Structures are given as structure tokens and as C-alpha cells.
Amino acid sequence: MRIVVCVKHVPDLQSDRSLDGDGHLVRGEDDVLNELDENAVEAAVALAEGNGAEVIALTVGPEDAVDAVRRALQMGADSGVHVVDDRLAGSDVVGTARVLAAAVRALGAEAPVDLVVTGMATMDGLTSMVPAALAAALGLPSLTLASEVTLEGSTVTITRSIGDADEQQAAELPLVLSVTDQANEPRYPNFKAIMAAKKKPVTTWSLDDLPDVAAAGPDGAPAVGAAGAGTTVRSAAARPPREAGRVLTDTGDAGAQLAAYLVENKLV
């Protein structure tokens, strides 16, 4: 059994994020493995440990994005694949899903891929759309937003929360699975795991290694990345600095002042 877990290198939420001249998020300064992808790696490794499976960490991104793969290897993945190509700059959900799907198919040409695992979202875009888009690109069923996962034979069963209710869904392998941050508690790699990860193989691919997405688009550019994106950034601006709040001194009418403020700003 082979499991591919998709991971992403994203700006640290605690860092000062900024935009470049094209309105894209500046990357490579304080980037880390996407926090919600840690749950995906944990789910993949836990399933592998119980079923004698191989786990392959897959990422698409610039050169330093390999650090996300390295972290996944420290957490227990067996090997990694890094798709890096300058032509991928500007990829959105559509472009990213197409490249991930092409990489999964390339891995499947070596030996069948039984399960693709992702996190519920990435902390840079927060679209939560890549898992479904990836399943569509692969032509596979998807089980999304799983808070619990079990595998019996070739059947994956998940529990997902819908408001005040929980529901169970099941599907047969192969499929795409996304897990929430409630699915598990990601392991923290010890020194032995960190050292062992340095010996695990990481394969680097470009678009030319994925011929089904490297075909030229109408303008001569590859039909991926910005050229193949389903969306376009029309404009972008940094968030304005937060203004200092008002301090109300209670002289007996603070409640009335607060109520007037809420009404004035249409907060009630």
C-alpha cells in the first residue's frame, strides 16, 4: 500500500507577511510546514504503521519548499517529492491541483497509489478547495474534513462534524482524504527521527517531468501556474495598520455610549 501526503510550505502565522509588486505573498523568509498539514502527515503515518504502507510526502513550491517535505520525513514519511519550477509562480487552486494530480499519476506509474491525504486547508490561502479539486483532477472519490479515520481492508470510513451533528462516510480505495485539526495530535519528532530523515530520499521534479501538465498554453507558456490559473489577481494591498480603540471612562453613561457605538457601526 502506498500513501501520498500533500504538504505545503507557508509563511509563519507569527511573522510579518507582505506582498510583492504583483500582489503575491512574499515567501521564503519565515516559512514553515503548514500547521494543518501536520495533521495530514500524522494521519498518513498512523495509517501506514497499522497497514505496512509506504508514505510519500509531496509538495509543489519554490526551492525552499523542500523544508516542508523534510519536516514530513522527520514525522515518519518514508520519502519525498518536490515539484519546483519557476513557471508555477502564480498557481491558484486549479493550477496547484493539476500539478499535484500529475505528480500523483507519475508516482502511480511506478507503483499504484492507494490513498492521497491532505490537510483541511493551508494557512496562507485558506480556500479549503484543493482536496476536492485534486480528487476531481485524479477522477477519484473524496472524503473530506475527517475528524476520525479508520481503514478496514480497502474501505476508508470517516467521521465528520456538521454543525451539531456527526456523520459517517465511507469509500473504497483509491481515494483522496482530507483531515481536520481534530483528527489527531501530530507527533513531535525526536532527535533520532530528525537524524534518520536526513538519509531519506527526496526526488525533485520540474514541469518537464510531468508531461501531461507541461503542454504549452495558447500564449506559449505552460498550461499551469499563472497561465493555467482559473483566477487572476486584479489588485492587492497590505492591510492598513489597526487604529487604537476608544477607552470609555464610566461616568454613569458608559453603557449608553457603548450601545450608541454598536448601533453607529451596525454591529447590532
Q: Is the pLDDT of residue 215 over 90?
A: no
* CA angle at 45 for the pair 40 and 48, rounded to the nearest 5°: 125
Cα–Cα separations (whole angstroms), residue 197 to 6, 30, 167, 189, 212: 17, 22, 37, 10, 31
Which has the closest alpha carbon to 4: 94, 105, 88? Answer: 105
Q: What does the alpha-carbon distance between residue 91 and residue 109 come to, in Å, rounded to a whole number? A: 25
CA 223, 225, 231, 234 torsion: positive or negative?
negative
Surface-to-core class of residue 134, CB atoms within 10 Å of its CB (0-12 exposed, 13-18 middle, 19+ buried): buried
Which has the closest alpha carbon to 95: 118, 69, 129, 49? Answer: 129
Q: Parallel, antiparallel, or unpaired for β 79-83 and 202-205? A: parallel
Question: What's the rounded mean pLDDT across residues 11-24?
Answer: 66
CB–CB of 115/174 below 8 Å? yes
Which pLDDT does position 239 carry in this prediction? 75
Q: What does the alpha-carbon distance between residue 117 and residue 120 come to, in Å, rounded to a whole number? A: 10
pLDDT confidence tier of residue 27, bands split at 50, 70 and 90: low
Which residue type, as a one-letter code, is found at position 128?
S
Q: Is the pLDDT of residue 71 over 90?
A: yes
Cα–Cα separations (whole angstroms), residue 113 to 69, 79, 175, 238: 18, 14, 9, 41
Buried b (16+ CB within 10 A) or exposed e, 193-209: eeeebeebeebebebee
Q: What is the pLDDT of residues 38-49, one digit of tens each?
A: 999 999 999 999
Q: What is the pLDDT of residues 217-262, one digit of tens each?
A: 444 444 555 545 667 777 777 778 888 877 877 888 888 888 988 9
Q: What does the alpha-carbon distance between residue 122 and residue 10 come to, in Å, rounded to a whole number? A: 8
Which residue type, as a one-letter code, is found at position 221?
A
Q: What is the pLDDT of residues 138-175, one digit of tens each?
A: 999 999 999 999 999 999 999 998 888 999 999 999 99
CB–CB of 119/37 below 8 Å? yes
Q: What does the alpha-carbon distance between residue 155 and residue 162 come to, in Å, rounded to a whole number? A: 22
**3-state per-residue secondary structure call for 148-193:** EEEEECCEEEEEEEECCEEEEEEEECCEEEEECCCCCCCCCCCHHH
Name the pTM for this structure.
0.81
Q: What is the pLDDT of residues 173-193, one digit of tens each?
A: 999 999 999 999 999 999 999
* DSSP H or E segment with residue 82: strand 79-83
Alpha helix (H) residue ranges in the chain: 35-51, 66-74, 93-110, 130-138, 191-197, 225-228, 254-264
| Chain centroid offset of residue 33 CA | 9
Q: What does the alpha-carbon distance between residue 4 and residue 7 come to, in Å, rounded to a whole number? A: 10
